[in-house]
Structure 1
Amino acid sequence: MPSLEREAYRLRSLIDDADAIIVGIGSGMSSAAGFNHYNRAGMARAGMTDWQQAFGFKSLFDGFYHLYPSLEQQ
């Protein structure tokens, strides 16, 4: 059995035997699922209007990358 095929079989066995699988992913997965990080209306639906008004955010990305004045505000 070639090495790649053997490794694929080994991986399949590990997955079959696992109780759970933890996957570390980035924002590309939520984007692929249709989540729009730039959508202002999404903040309103999420109940974040107070947060949006307090800091002047236009989108969730604004909040993700905002430099807050203190850890308490963050």
Structure 2
Amino acid sequence: MSSDQDQQIRSWRKSSYSGHEGACIEIADKVSNAVPVRDSKAPEGPVLTFPSAAWRIFILGVRNGCLPRMVLTRPNP
């Protein structure tokens, strides 16, 4: 993400469907032509930035059930 885009981020938000388990992502709105995404557990960590058009396609795919359902497992400590 460019420093100009970084300065545009005023707030991050999580989905209203997010629970309290900590497995959430946050996105920043109103960044020109991009959607910054970060891990809510590590807000100071890296930010992935997706082109706005690619993010819209991803969200449409999720809403329409076009993505395969994945079961994530966590490694045992």
Fold similarity call, TM over 0.5: no
Structure with more of its chain in helix, by fraction: 1
Look at both structures and tell me which one has the larger radius of gyration over its CA atoms: 1
Give the structure-1-normalised TM-score.
Answer: 0.28
Structure with more of its chain in strand, by fraction: 2
